Every structure is written in structure tokens, then in C-alpha cells.
Structure 1
């Protein structure tokens, strides 16, 4: 909730800033029209087109990248569920006496992974769950290696150990994906371009005697909402748009571990 409130504040500040810059641009345009009515708007079309085009491109690429990373994070949840499910099924190949303890550790491991993502990021509960999951990875691996025996040419270790390795590797991939974001300077540049575009938009409306509030409010609101959505997509465990629904595959997998 704190993140959502922060992004809402950013969006609101950008919205108000764009309204203010439109008003400043309009007043500057009115003043220029009063001084030089004939050439006040001359040769400004190319400049406005360049700025608006740059803003549109940056916003489009940023939004597209955020949506792509959001979809990639959801797919990684399914990949982890598949990796854990495959490794769990291959425990059937191990000697029967070794299976109960490893299966119980698998259930505890999946519980820890779910707790890590279901608790707020950077919270103590999330960090504790991650540490517990990392510890259980080592325990499961040691138990599986011991159960496979010393004969590395046997089919059992060839089938079981790679599946466990993939289950462990996907956790690093997910951790990297959750921390993959554009540099902050990209967002700063996007905000600056939005304000610059608002200034030019206000200057372009200077010829009208009456303010077009519908255009001013619409332009500022749409730009602010788009940037809010970009930030929300970039942090899917914190905002309104979340990948939590994708965790259902892990929940269902946990329920199937009898």
C-alpha cells in the first residue's frame, strides 16, 4: 500500500505540474502574441513535433518494456512450478526409505517459497522465508545425493539431480527478474519530457482567449495515468497490478503434494 500511495503521489505531482506548465506556456504565448502577433507561432511546429514525438516514443518503449517484464515474471512462476513438480515426481526413483524425508522437505521448501513472495518484499517475514528456502535447497540436494548413491553412471542420479538443479536455478532467475528495471534516469527523462510537452502544449493554446480545460486536463491526466501504470507494472509485488494470481499454480502444486 505504501508503494501504491507513493506512485499515486508521483502521478498527482506530475498531473499538477503539467497543468502548471501548460498555464505557464499559455501565458508566455499570450505575451508573445501581444508583442508580435504575426510571428509568434512561426516555425514552432517542427519543435513541438520533435518534443511530442520523443515523449511518445519514450513513453511507448517504457510501457512496452514494463509490460514485457511483467509477462516474463508471470511465466517464470509457471516455470518454477513445473521445475518443482518435475523434481518432486522424480523422487519416486529414489530408494523408498529415503523418500518420506525428502518429500517432507519439498513441502516445507514450497511453503517457504510461497511465503517469500506472498509477504511484502523487503519485509522480515519475506527475508526469513527466503533464507529458509535457501537452507532447504541445500538440505534437499544433500539428501538426494546421498540417496542416489555413489554410482554416478546409474540412471537415477542422471534423472533426479538435473531436475533438482533446475529447481534451484530458477530461483536465481526469478530473483534477477524481480530486480530488473530501467535506470531511474529514464523515468526522470520521461517526467521532464512530459513537463516540456505541457509547456509547448500550453504555448500552442495561447491563441484562444478562453482556456480549453478539457484539453488541458485530459492531456495531463492521460500522461500521468500512463506513467503511473508503467511504475505499477515494473513492481508487480507492490502496486495495484500484481502477479499474485500466477502464484495459484504453486498453491495448487503444494496441495497436490500428499
Structure 2
């Protein structure tokens, strides 16, 4: 959302404003047509070219800013998935009582992250998911601190603590990146320059008493589309272009598979039975060799 509205609503509002500007500027140019001359038209052409160049520069600048922020959010999500998965694997090395608690909390943490991504723009759901993830972080750190206090800080526990630190750091970066948007001043400047460029185009058409409904309307719609896409890229939890949750869902499936797919090892036979079985196999192989030797000797004698 931007300005409290959905991107699709913003698109239609921007198109409507552009159309109004085009019509008003054309009528103003037609009204001033009798007082214009070649020098005035040449001056307007220079200004129109300069404004269109400035508009192109601002469109590219805003689009690059929005795209870089969108890619940064995607990268942080992937980094978060990686560190959570590493923490889970390292937690499997802990003692059984501590291992069960840590792995269960990590699975709950992944679920809280998925709920946060699915919350969209619902402030209540966002707040609940964020508080849930923070609570789980505190519980994980409390378990690590308790193990340290009880002298259970093994090498595996140290690895888990290091991974928990990475999870916390990536999560803080992600939260900061969620609030890192293209400055509103830059977007508003783009909107004003677009209005000015379209106004000069329509005004010059009015001076020449020539309407170009089709071309100017298409140009205005294209600018409105790019403007809306910039807003959409800048809003990660709304619109058509969002940071996907597929990687986090795959992580959840992997964690569930690892926690429920531990097969019990097949019971090994007693040592005496294994020795007896090996001896029987050896005797049978010796008998086969003797039989083949006797058969070969019989053929040779024949």
C-alpha cells in the first residue's frame, strides 16, 4: 500500500490525474495560440525536451532504488533460511533432552516467520507474528544460557550459539530492510515532473491546435504503469510483486522430514551368530570350488 491505498487504485488515480492535466494543458495552449510565435514554440520545445529527459532520469533512478531494495529483501530471506537450517542441523548434535527443545523451538520459529510473510498488511497479524518470533528467540537464548550456566557448553553447544547469533543478526537486518523504502520525497518529485512533462506536451499541442488523444493517452498510461510498479516493488507485503515464501516453506518441509524421518537402525545379530554365519558361508564357497575342480579333472581325463 502507498498513501493508504492499494497499488491498483493508485494506478487509476494517477491515470485520471494525468488525463486531467493533459486536457487542461491542451485547452490552455489553445487559448494562448493567438499570442504565440515561432520563438515561443521553439522555447517550449526546448523545455519539453529537458523535462522529458529529467522524467526519464527520475524514472530510472526510482526504479533502480526500488529494485535494489526488493532484491535485498529476497537475499535476506534466503540468508535467514540458510542460517535456520544450519542451526537445526547443529542442534541435532546436542544431548537428547536439549536437542528436542531446541529443534522444536526452531520449527515454531519457522512457522512464525511464515505467518509473518502471509500477514500481508494486517497490522494485528504482523504484530502477533513478530512478537511470536521474538518470544521464540528469547526462549532459545535462555536455553543456551542455562546450558552455559550448568557447565554443559560443549563444542556442539558453542556451534549452536554461534548459529543462533547469526539467526538473530539476519532477523534484525530483515526487519530494518522491511522499513527501508524509497524516500517519499523522491517519489513525489517523480510524480510532479511527470505532470510537468505531460503538461508541456499537451500545451504544445494546444498551441498547434492539434489533438493527439491516442499517443498522449498511451504515453500517460505507460508512465502511470512504471510509477505503480515502482510503488509495488517498494511495498514488500502488498501489491502484485512480493517477496515469496517458497524458500521458507521448503525449509519447513525439510525440518519436518528430518524430525519425523529418523529410521530406527536394524538390530545387529549377536557376535557368535555372525561368526557362525560367516563360517558357514566360507565352507559353502570351499565346497563349490572343490566341485568345480573335480568337474574340470573329469573333463580332462575324458
Is contact 1:29-1:206 (8 Å) kept?
A: yes
Report the Cα distance in structure 2 between the residues aligned to 1:166 and 1:129, rounded to whole angstroms: 20
Is contact 1:232-1:241 (8 Å) kept?
A: yes
- Report 1:91-170 matches (<5 A): 91-147=91-147, 150=151, 155-170=155-170
Is contact 2:6-2:239 (8 Å) kept?
A: no
Is contact 2:92-2:103 (8 Å) kept?
A: no
Which of 1 and 2 has greater Rg?
2
Is contact 2:36-2:207 (8 Å) kept?
A: no
**How far has the Cα of 1:58 moved from its partner?**
1.0
- What's 1:250 paired with? 248
What secondary structure, in the 3-state scheme, does the structure 2 residue paired with 1:19 have?
helix
**How far has the Cα of 1:119 moved from its partner?**
1.3
Report the Cα distance in structure 1 between the residues aligned to 2:210 and 2:41, rounded to whole angstroms: 18
What secondary structure, in the 3-state scheme, does the structure 2 residue paired with 1:206 have?
helix
Q: 1:2 to 1:191 in 2, by over 3 A?
A: closer
Is contact 1:236-1:242 (8 Å) kept?
A: yes
What secondary structure, in the 3-state scheme, does the structure 2 residue paired with 1:253 have?
helix
**How far has the Cα of 1:33 moved from its partner?**
2.7
Report the Cα distance in structure 2 between the residues aligned to 1:253 and 1:145, rounded to whole angstroms: 26
198-207 vs 53-62, which deviates more?
198-207
Report the Cα distance in structure 1 between the residues aligned to 2:38 and 2:127, rounded to whole angstroms: 66
The alignment status of 1:46 with 2:38, answered yes or no, reads no
What secondary structure, in the 3-state scheme, does the structure 2 residue paired with 1:120 have?
coil
Report the Cα distance in structure 2 between the residues aligned to 1:169 and 1:122, rounded to whole angstroms: 25
Report the Cα distance in structure 2 between the residues aligned to 1:151 and 1:115, rounded to whole angstroms: 34
Q: 1:2 to 1:60 in 2, by over 3 A?
A: closer
Is contact 1:84-1:167 (8 Å) kept?
A: yes
Is contact 2:2-2:231 (8 Å) kept?
A: no
Report the Cα distance in structure 2 between the residues aligned to 1:103 and 1:4, rounded to whole angstroms: 40
Is contact 2:112-2:129 (8 Å) kept?
A: yes
The alignment status of 1:11 with 2:24, answered yes or no, reads no
Aligned-pair Cα RMSD in Å? 2.2
**How far has the Cα of 1:151 moved from its partner?**
7.0
- What's 2:266 paired with? none
TM-score (norm 2): 0.77
Gapped runs of 5+ residues in structure 1? none
Report the Cα distance in structure 2 between the residues aligned to 1:3 and 1:114, rounded to whole angstroms: 26
Q: 1:207 to 1:35 in 2, by over 3 A?
A: closer
Gapped runs of 5+ residues in structure 2? 260-302
Is contact 1:66-1:233 (8 Å) kept?
A: yes
Cα distance per residue 1:144-177 (max 9 Å; x no partner): 343355376x533432211111011111111111
What secondary structure, in the 3-state scheme, does the structure 1 residue paired with 2:45 have?
helix
What secondary structure, in the 3-state scheme, does the structure 1 residue paired with 2:238 have?
coil
What secondary structure, in the 3-state scheme, does the structure 1 residue paired with 2:180 have?
coil
